[in-house]
Amino acid sequence: MTTQDPTNGSGRMPAAFFGHGNPMNALETNRYTTAWRAFGEAVPRPRAVLVISAHWYINATAVTAMPRPRTIHDFYGFPRELFDVQYPAPGLPELAEEISDVVRPTWVGADVDSWGIDHGTWSVLVHAFPDATIPVVQLSINADKPLDYHLELGAKLAPLRERGVLVVASGNVVHNLRSMNWRATDAGFDWAERFDEAAKEQMLTDPTAFATLDAHADYRLAVPTPDHFIPALYLAGLAGAEGADASDTRVLIDGYAYGSLSMTAYTLGMECPPTTNDGGSPQVTGDLPPDGSNI
């Protein structure tokens, strides 16, 4: 039996961006989580996973450098079962020094005790790599920096893909919590769809200009705060680092949740595994999480 090489024979690890949506996806089996699992089964086993999560949004650029990162439940208003989820993946402290080297002269600090693995990371990885044995390191999003900084930093991470590191970004290209309609589980507002489609065209045709989406007419509605949008810039930067003709970016899965979230996920440098159209975003039952829930 012949197994398809998901690296296309390049020896370079793929990369990805996931629209992670509602943290309840960690407990669900739906079209998105099935796609995340298929992705994990298709990629070569990485030496480590480096995740840029929307939920580590601080005033510095840092990487986790502890041997045993804790599982962080950085939300409220959700069922007890979600708080019981643990993702006990090891860290890889030496990767912090490697990251610092490849991105110079950009300064990157080593976090040995303050953060860990937040839900932007583990809600996806519990499906992609459920055994939690692959080391996981997180890179913070520096809230003080402009969009171009993140695009350029993403490009600087490209050499890590040659060293067995799977770079994963996790956020949502469209993420407006104030406009959410919890009952519109698989629908997108017109402005959400317009912006997500524009972002998709940019990612697939010229990722080097992904930061210019801030000039789009629907940007302020789709991206009222940049924390969930910025992770996509890291994948765009990686794609741009391969060159306009070589950037092999594809849509893994797409769709919308609660009107104002886009669930689009992209892969770079691999054939996308088949996905299903069955089952969408988590249905909400009982008490709705408060509007301010950090999802």
Running DSSP on this structure, what letter comes out for residue 195? H
User: Has residue 242 got a pLDDT over 90?
Assistant: no
d(CA 17, CA 189): 22
User: Which of 171, 223, 233, 174 lies closest to 203 in space, CA to CA?
Assistant: 233
Cα–Cα distance measured from residue 114 to residue 59, given in angstroms and rounded to the nearest whole number = 14
Give helix 230-241 / helix 190-205 axis angle, nearest 10°: 20
Say if residues 173 and 253 touch (Cβ distance below 8 Å).
no
Q: Is the pLDDT of residue 246 over 90?
A: no
Residue 138 predicted with pLDDT over 80: yes
Whole-prediction pTM: 0.93
Q: What is the DSSP string of 85-119?
A: --------HHHHHHHHHHTTTS--EEESSS-EE-H
Q: Which domains does the chain have, with CATH numbers?
A: 15-268 (3.40.830.10)
List pLDDT tens digits, range 146-156. 999 999 999 99
Size (the chain), residues: 295
Q: What is the pLDDT of residue 289?
A: 57
